Amino acid sequence: MTRPVLIDGRYEVEAELGRGAMGVVYRARDIELGRAVALKLIAPEYARSSRVAAYLQREARALATIRSHHVVQVYASGPHKDSYFFAMEFIRGRSLDTIINEHKAHGTFVPIYRALTILRQIARGLAAVHAAGIVHRDIKPANIVIEENTGRPVLVDFGLAVPADARVAAAGTPAVMAPEQGRLLQGSIVTIRTDIYSLGCTAYKLLTGRLPFESKTIPDLLRAHMTEEAKPVSSLRPDLAPFDPVFARALAKNPDERYASAEELTLALDQAEAQWIPPDLSSAPFSTGAFSQPGPGLRVLVVDDDDMFRAFAARAVKLAFQDVPVRVLAAGSGIEALTSALHNPPNLVLLDFDMPGLDGIHTLSRLRVLPGGLEARILVVSARAEEQERWRFSVLGVHDFLAKPVQLQDLVDTVARIARRSGFTSANELPPSSQMA
């Protein structure tokens, strides 16, 4: 029997996740803490260099200081045989690139409010990276993972990261590479604004489904980044006209003309969104960072425009948590749900899809950005959430669905199962019942 590979005496390799020029990433298990980790082993030809080894040690120390919900956390690092390892947070989910391409294949876009939420959160993480004196150098949709169940976007893969203001050899992904990266032979320096350009390219694809520049050859692509102006996003989506000035500045050829920080870019996106929001959605609440302190116990929000189903679902929730304090809140529309969630962040949401005004997808995309919204677990209970809608919900971290009409037994059991899986509490199961709604 083959003995498992053990790294640093505690990380047991389980499966390969991917490989690139710099090394291989594995899923591993921390046998001391009993948790999954992502383990990156640097290719020996790089790790053998004393200069590279010293650089890796510096970067590991810098990355370990970053504390952001939207940046992959580094747990440990060090030498291993003729290589060097990084043990990092394991993010179970899909890349933003995969999600964008799925929407494109279905002839639609990621909902704009969800897209802007992702951009804000990644910008927040990038600001923390920059505060640590690091430039990522490879901000792209493929390096952003959307976590299952929560929809949390996380910036990953720091394999090309360098200290800010460093003069280094050109490296990165040509599709999102800032013009100065292509001019490095002329003595350009990589700065925070290099990442701003790549984040602008990422935002462009997230909102339009296309990159600012597309070419069949790498030289032509790099030349386009250095000499051509990107088409306004409004030429691809006329409703995005308020965002044209934002992209013009984020994708400026001269780094000095770009936004000076990720926070500055976020503010510009917020201002453009204020001009974009349709009037019929303007009454939906936005988080200001302050909210009412929730009461004790588990909070469950039932969102459905059917009065009878709300009462039915509330009963199912109480049966699932007979021995646990639970507060069931009800909302008859998306706007009501968001107002409720702003003051009482829910642990669990039972959500309908087909509702007047804000449907379930747009309601959830807004709820995710409210305080506590990323932590909420979601169960979609709907008669009309077909395959098309389900993959859209999956972008928001939803994997639990029930079709109406639903048996009371099935609803109770599903709520109990989600609660146990999420670590909320030990929920009870209801004896068989034939009642249905």
Q: Give catalytic residue positions.
A: 138
Structure tokens at 258: 């770009």
Structure tokens at 149: 């169940």
Contact predicate 113/338, CB 8 Å: no
Distance CA(40)–CA(27), nearest Å, equals 9
Contact predicate 249/258, CB 8 Å: yes
- Residue 25 belongs to what H/E stretch? strand 23-30
SS3 86: strand
Contact predicate 168/98, CB 8 Å: no
| Tokens 């390892």 found at | 85
Structure tokens at 123: 């910008």
Structure tokens at 81: 């045989």
Distance CA(138)–CA(118), nearest Å, equals 17
- SS3 of the chain: helix, strand, coil, percent, to 5: 40, 20, 40
Nearest to 125 by CA among 56, 73, 194: 73
Dihedral, 293, 295, 299, 302 alpha carbons, nearest 10 = -80
What type of residue is 267?
L
Nearest to 84 by CA among 135, 136, 58, 48: 48
Distance CA(327)–CA(277), nearest Å, equals 33
Distance CA(3)–CA(150), nearest Å, equals 35
Helices 112-131, 262-276: crossing angle, 10 deg rounding: 160
Contact predicate 157/38, CB 8 Å: no
